[in-house]
């Protein structure tokens, strides 16, 4: 037989032709599409073939035609780690024969020979069948030979042929794609970053964990916990002269007390950290550890492995710089050192140490200043042994670099959300992030602020801005984070005009946070996080779409659960000063709502309830009250049993 009659093209989803895996979380259905066709007029059919990586045999699921030579089929990923999938198309000889026979019968053509040819196909299948099926098939063949055309339409024959089906002209796609399956948390989590040292170290900060949990956060991310260097230690506000009591930047890692596996004595001991982690876990939260692969001049590696650092022409070790910026308290690691095998292994051992300790989330500091090949090697190795471990790329850099880091293994990535403020910017950026294939490799983690960044629009801003940015981050992103208590206390003073940095940054000094301040947004944050947990539409980003508002100050978007049952529409007033109103358009038909039918709308933020009708409805938001709607739409008017809901 000549191969090559069936063509399988454009199998999707895929990232760079299969060079990188797509990302999914456990329980997801992987919807596979492909263009499949053959020469001539025969009926073409297809399967998705899939398996857990390392398994020998393929499972398969039949694909259904969706028009224009496209087929679709889905399989579910139920285990962590890597799955493989591909597509095989083939000619369905029996279906082709049945279709042609029917057409000839309709045209009153002589089908005597066709019936015999059908019998031959059935007899060939009978040879593969055993027991009673074989006899049944032979019986059908005999009736076809006897000239009974109606046999072709017999559903029992169809079922038998299907059961013993052996495809002809199978054409397997020439590539196998892979999907890396992570815990659900890789896709849906609220992060909270804070400096335990401002709360008296691990012991003192244990208490604050309860507050964080009450705000509804899922992940607590803390800056590096390791001993801080003394040489060239930075003082308050990043000054090059540190006072005697200045604690230094936690990112200047390593001192005589140890390096990347040691704990800074001012925070406590390794046991204290363990207790802190266990307490967080007991509150339903996970600890994310900072992974900053760089050293202070006092890091033990500097003397133990001077060859791991770049030496200048005068024999000194090069400190970090991005001319004209200079970071004298940090030595970058030389990933290209001759001894890179030992170096890379030592860095892997750091990660393994903390995994053994109980950490499974790492926020990686500036990954874009280290070789891509290193990360692909490191994360690949860790994921193989520990598919539950997650890495967040803190790479506030150029788009293609961010994308590459996501492709080579980072489970999550920071985003430009921090600086996207207008409706147009938000719409354009998040449409890009949720389009194929970006959505298949890039998991956004949205931060309105970080210890490094107080963006211009938060400087001197008030409650409307902080609330609006919080609602945007937490509903545009299934995963988001804030740096607190600076955020919820609406800290808004910049280091200097034109600088997007905090005055009195906690990176260089301890801060005494006034949690009891009446402006604290903790309750609002807790409320929004509760809404997030209760509405699975907000647990993923794939369904995000924007809607027209006829007012540029109002941005509107929706998210929907896979089954369509949970539908959330958010409208945010981007103007912190004025009440803004406008007509909102919703694609009712796509939402499964009839245009002539009133539908109930429930604002989960304010508990307000409306009944809307038609594709256009008016919305108005006063920023000084609540600058956003988070609306749950019901697809039908309430029935008797919904009464309580409306009480």
Positions that interact with a copy of itself (CB under 8 A):
1-5, 7, 9-10, 16-17, 19, 35, 37, 39-41, 68-69, 99-100, 103-104, 106-107, 109, 113, 116-117, 120, 174, 312-314, 316, 322-324, 326, 335-336, 340, 368-374, 376, 398-401, 404
Among 454, 441, 73, smallest CA distance to 237 is for 454
Q: Cα–chain-centroid distance for residue 561?
A: 15
Which residue in 519, 530, 525, 544 sits closest to 604, CA to CA?
530
Give the C-alpha separation, 145 to 112, whole Å. 9
Length of the chain equals 647
**Three-state secondary structure readout of 628-639:** EEEEEECCCCCC
Tokens coding 124: 């060939």
H-helix or E-strand spanning residue 326: strand 325-327
For helices 463-476 and 423-433, what crossing angle results, to 10°?
20
Distance from C-alpha of 337 to C-alpha of 307, rounded to nearest angstrom: 7
State the nearest-atom distance from the C-beta of 278 to a copy of itself, in Å: 37
Residue closer to a copy of itself by CB (options 100, 133) is 100
CB of 413 to a copy of itself, least distance (A): 15
Is residue 352 within a helix (H) or strand (E), and if so which, with residue range?
helix 340-357
What is the CA 14 to chain-centroid distance, rounded?
15
Q: Which is nearer to a copy of itself, 268 or 332 (CB)?
A: 332
The catalytic position among 365, 488, 509, 603 is 365
Judge whether 318 and 342 are in contact, CB under 8 Å. Answer: no
Nearer to a copy of itself, 152 or 525 (CB): 152
CB atoms within 10 A of CB 520: 19
CB of 605 to a copy of itself, least distance (A): 38
Instruction: Choose among 268, 281, 288, 262: nearest CA to 203.
Output: 268
**Minimum distance between the CB of residue 465 and a copy of itself, rounded to whole angstroms?**
30
Minimum gap (Å) between residue 41 Cβ and a copy of itself: 5
* CA distances in angstroms from 222 to 19, 205, 212, 510, listed in the order given: 34, 11, 13, 14
- Given the complex with a copy of itself, which of 238 and 492 has the nearer CB atom? 238
Q: What are the helix (H) ranges across 485-521? A: none
Between CA 177 and CA 33 the distance in angstroms is: 12
Q: Active-site residue among 394, 488, 509, 603? A: 394
Angle at 578 between CA 575 and CA 580, to 5 degrees: 75
Between 112 and 496, whose beta carbon lies closer to a copy of itself? 112
Q: How far is CA 129 from CA 121, 141, 579, in A?
A: 13, 14, 74
Q: Which residue lies nearer to a copy of itself by CB, 371 or 564?
A: 371
Query: Cβ-count burial of 346 within 10 angstroms (0-12 exposed, 13-18 middle, 19+ buried)?
Result: middle
Q: How big, in percent rounded to 5, are the helix, strand and coil portions of the chain?
A: 35, 25, 40
- The answer to whether the beta carbons of residues 403 and 442 sit under 8 Å apart is yes
Complex with a copy of itself: residue 415 or 475, whichever CB lies closer: 415
Q: Name the burial class of residue 177, with classes exposed (0-12), middle (13-18) and buried (19+) by CB atoms within 10 angstroms of its CB.
A: buried
DSSP state of 501: S
Q: Which is nearer to a copy of itself, 40 or 54 (CB)?
A: 40
Shortest distance, CB of residue 162 to a copy of itself, whole angstroms? 23
CB of 371 to a copy of itself, least distance (A): 5
The closest alpha carbon to 331, from 365, 363, 364, 308, belongs to 308
C-beta of 341 vs 641, nearer to a copy of itself: 341
Q: Using CA of residue 261, residue 267, residue 269, residue 275, what is the dihedral sign?
A: negative
Task: Please say if 516 is a catalytic residue.
Answer: no
The nearest distance, CB 84 to a copy of itself, in angstroms, is 18
Give the nearest distance from C-beta 65 to a copy of itself in angstroms: 12
Instruction: Please report which helix (H) or strand (E) contains residue 160, including its range.
Output: helix 155-163
Residue whose CB is less far from a copy of itself, 115 or 454: 115
Pick between residue 41 and residue 130 the one whose CB is nearest to a copy of itself. 41
Extract the tokens encoding 270: 């390794």
Compute the distance between CA of residue 142 and CA of residue 135 in angstroms, rounded to an integer: 10
Q: Please indicate whether residue 365 is annotated as part of the active site.
A: yes
Q: What is the nearest approach in angstroms of a copy of itself to the Cβ of residue 239? A: 18
**Do 250 and 267 form a contact (C-beta atoms < 8 A)?**
no
Cβ neighbors of 563 (< 8 A, separation 6 or more) are: none
Q: Closest distance between a copy of itself and the C-beta of residue 7, in Å?
A: 6
Could you tell me the CA-to-CA distances from 618 to 258, 548, 582, 585 in Å, in that order?
61, 12, 6, 9
Q: Indicate which residues carry an active-site annotation.
A: 365, 394
């Amino acid at each position: 037989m000549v191969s090559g009659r069936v063509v399988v093209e454009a199998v999707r989803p895929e990232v760079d032709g299969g060079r990188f895996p797509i990302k999914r979380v456990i329980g997801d259905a992987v919807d596979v599409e492909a263009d499949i066709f053959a020469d001539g007029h025969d009926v073409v059919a297809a399967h998705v073939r899939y398996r857990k990586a390392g398994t020998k045999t393929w499972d398969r699921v039949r694909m259904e035609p969706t028009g224009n030579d496209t087929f679709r089929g889905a399989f579910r990923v139920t285990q962590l780690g890597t799955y493989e999938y591909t597509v095989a198309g083939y000619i369905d000889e029996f279906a082709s024969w049945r279709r042609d026979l029917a057409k000839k019968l309709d045209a009153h053509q002589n089908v005597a020979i066709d019936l015999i040819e059908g019998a031959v196909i059935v007899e060939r299948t009978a040879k593969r069948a055993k027991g009673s099926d074989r006899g049944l098939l032979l019986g059908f063949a005999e009736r076809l030979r006897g000239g009974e055309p109606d046999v072709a339409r017999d559903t029992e024959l169809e079922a038998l042929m299907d059961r013993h089906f052996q495809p002809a002209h199978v054409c397997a796609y020439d590539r196998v794609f892979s999907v890396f399956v992570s815990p659900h948390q890789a896709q849906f989590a609220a992060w909270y970053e804070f400096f335990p040292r401002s709360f008296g170290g691990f012991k003192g900060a244990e208490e604050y964990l309860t507050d964080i949990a009450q705000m509804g956060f899922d992940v607590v991310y803390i800056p590096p916990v390791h001993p801080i260097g003394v040489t060239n230690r930075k003082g308050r506000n990043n000054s090059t002269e540190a006072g005697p009591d200045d604690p230094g930047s936690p990112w200047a890692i390593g001192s005589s007390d140890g390096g990347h596996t040691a704990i800074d004595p001012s925070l406590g001991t390794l046991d204290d950290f363990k207790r802190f982690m266990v307490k967080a876990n007991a509150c339903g939260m996970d600890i994310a550890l900072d992974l900053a692969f760089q050293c202070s001049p006092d890091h033990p590696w500097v003397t133990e492995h001077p060859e791991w650092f770049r030496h200048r022409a005068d024999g000194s070790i090069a400190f970090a710089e991005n001319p004209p910026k200079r970071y004298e308290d940090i030595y970058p690691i030389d990933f290209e050192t001759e001894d890179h095998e030992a170096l890379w292994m030592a860095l892997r051992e750091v990660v393994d140490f903390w995994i053994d300790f109980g950490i499974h989330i790492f926020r990686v500091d500036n990954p874009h200043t280290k070789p891509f090949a290193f990360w692909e090697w490191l994360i690949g190795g860790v994921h193989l042994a520990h598919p539950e471990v997650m890495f967040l790329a803190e790479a506030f850099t150029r788009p293609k670099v961010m994308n590459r880091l996501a492709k080579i293994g980072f489970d999550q990535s920071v985003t430009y959300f921090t600086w996207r403020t207008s409706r147009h910017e938000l719409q354009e950026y998040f449409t890009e992030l949720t389009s194929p294939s970006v959505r298949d490799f890039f998991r956004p983690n949205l931060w309105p602020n970080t210890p490094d960044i107080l963006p211009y629009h938060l400087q001197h801003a008030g409650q409307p801005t902080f609330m609006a940015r919080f609602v945007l981050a937490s509903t545009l992103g299934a995963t988001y984070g804030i740096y607190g208590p600076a955020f919820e206390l609406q800290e808004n003073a910049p280091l200097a005009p034109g600088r997007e940095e905090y005055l009195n940054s906690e990176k260089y000094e301890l801060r005494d946070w006034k949690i009891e301040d009446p402006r604290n947004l903790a309750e609002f944050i807790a409320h929004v996080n509760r809404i997030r947990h209760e509405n699975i539409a907000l647990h993923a980003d794939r369904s995000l779409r924007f809607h027209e508002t006829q007012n540029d100050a109002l941005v509107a978007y929706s998210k929907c659960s896979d089954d369509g049952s949970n539908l959330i529409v958010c409208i945010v007033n981007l103007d912190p000063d004025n009440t803004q109103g406008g007509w909102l358009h919703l694609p009712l038909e796509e939402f499964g709502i009839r245009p002539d039918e009133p539908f109930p709308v429930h604002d989960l933020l304010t508990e307000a309830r409306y009944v809307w009708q038609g594709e256009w409805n008016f919305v108005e938001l006063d920023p000084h009250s609540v600058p956003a709607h988070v609306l749950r739409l019901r697809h039908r008017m309430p029935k008797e049993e919904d009464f309580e809901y409306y009480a």
